[in-house]
Structure 1
């Protein structure tokens, strides 16, 4: 009997580059279906044109891959208010595309995503990508940090969901405690 899997779409919103990842997640394994970026440089600087393009591209990805859940990174506080507003609009348009397609949508703070994947809420993009490579036994191009951030959002969602089968397992407040109890995990 084949394992039941949940198809999750992760999005790292942006107005210059939007990262996306589609995963099939089950209790025994996680498979990356597609990972990539959508770029907007060819569209010029008009924000409404970019927002429409984001909506259309996310819609196309949803139609193509048929995820049931959407995990998206929340905008974080930035000193540049205009950048934060643009990012919030991009996120809102991506969420709207998910809602139109009846996807269960969850937003995650960047620190929560990083902590779920690396154990460190202040991890760099390189550290997140490196941990994803270890978890999923694959390699990613360094130029696709937006895509690996989207993959991290999808994985965070899986870890946080009741589907992951992690309930009842011991939780740890830090990596040191985990490694102390699980020395076999160290290579």
Structure 2
């Protein structure tokens, strides 16, 4: 399984390709490798539709070079600046079109879903996402741009969502530990029982 994650932007679009290694013939989501990552930077002075063509062409080139099986992308985010959100919507469209034209399935995730999948909380900062992406992928140093760490995070989020069955997901750490007491040391078990009293 090889996933292309994209963090769309009108001037800088981050991308990251993450591959899942196999263990006993099955994908192992604990063994993730960053195949490649970087940014697609367009000239701020270019006319907008020229920027879109450059982004489309570059995503198409990346797909043809690395042959990802799926594309995951951040959903549209509507902040205070409508014009900016409108432009990002166009960028998302050309990225999705590039994937569809290449026969790749497309999956979309909200910023909150991505942060929760990577950091464990939906309101994590960009610094926290960057730190966890580096740790999960075993990178020697953090990516230079948040656009890149966000793109890698989108790919990681999709891998987690795909390889972890719905029934195995937990709403929080307490629910997970309750279902898996074997992960608790004896001291921790005692402390949890005392809190319940």
> Does the aligned pair in 2 maintain the 1:43–1:49 contact within 8 Å?
no
Corresponding residue of 1:134? 135
Corresponding residue of 1:3? none
> Does the aligned pair in 2 maintain the 1:119–1:175 contact within 8 Å?
no
> Does the aligned pair in 2 maintain the 1:129–1:140 contact within 8 Å?
no
Corresponding residue of 1:18? 13
TM-score (norm 1): 0.86
Judged with a 3 Å threshold, the aligned counterparts in structure 2 of structure 1 residues 88 and 169 are, in CA distance, closer, same or farther, namely same
Corresponding residue of 2:106? 105
Corresponding residue of 2:40? 38
How many residue pairs match? The answer is 175
The DSSP-based 3-state class of the residue aligned with 2:133 is helix
1:75 matches 2:73: no
Q: CA deviation at 1:79?
A: 1.0
Q: CA deviation at 1:168?
A: 7.6
Judged with a 3 Å threshold, the aligned counterparts in structure 2 of structure 1 residues 183 and 139 are, in CA distance, closer, same or farther, namely farther
Corresponding residue of 1:173? 171
The DSSP-based 3-state class of the residue aligned with 1:156 is helix
Q: Tell me how far apart the structure 2 counterparts of residues 56 and 142 of structure 1 sit (CA, whole Å).
A: 23
Q: Tell me how far apart the structure 1 counterparts of residues 136 and 44 of structure 2 sit (CA, whole Å).
A: 36
Q: Say which is worse superposed, 64-73 or 173-182, in terms of deviation.
A: 173-182
The DSSP-based 3-state class of the residue aligned with 2:148 is helix
Q: CA deviation at 1:106?
A: 0.7
Deviation digits for residues 97-135 of structure 1, max 9, x if unmatched? 000001000111111111111111111111011111222
> Does the aligned pair in 1 maintain the 2:131–2:142 contact within 8 Å?
no
> Does the aligned pair in 1 maintain the 2:130–2:142 contact within 8 Å?
no
Q: Tell me how far apart the structure 2 counterparts of residues 21 and 97 of structure 1 sit (CA, whole Å).
A: 15
Deviation digits for residues 5-50 of structure 1, max 9, x if unmatched? x01100000111100011111433111100111111x351411010
CA RMSD of aligned residues (A): 1.9
Deviation digits for residues 69-106 of structure 1, max 9, x if unmatched? 00001121111111010000000010000000010001
Judged with a 3 Å threshold, the aligned counterparts in structure 2 of structure 1 residues 89 and 175 are, in CA distance, closer, same or farther, namely same
TM-score (norm 2): 0.82
Gaps of 5+ in 2: 22-26, 186-197
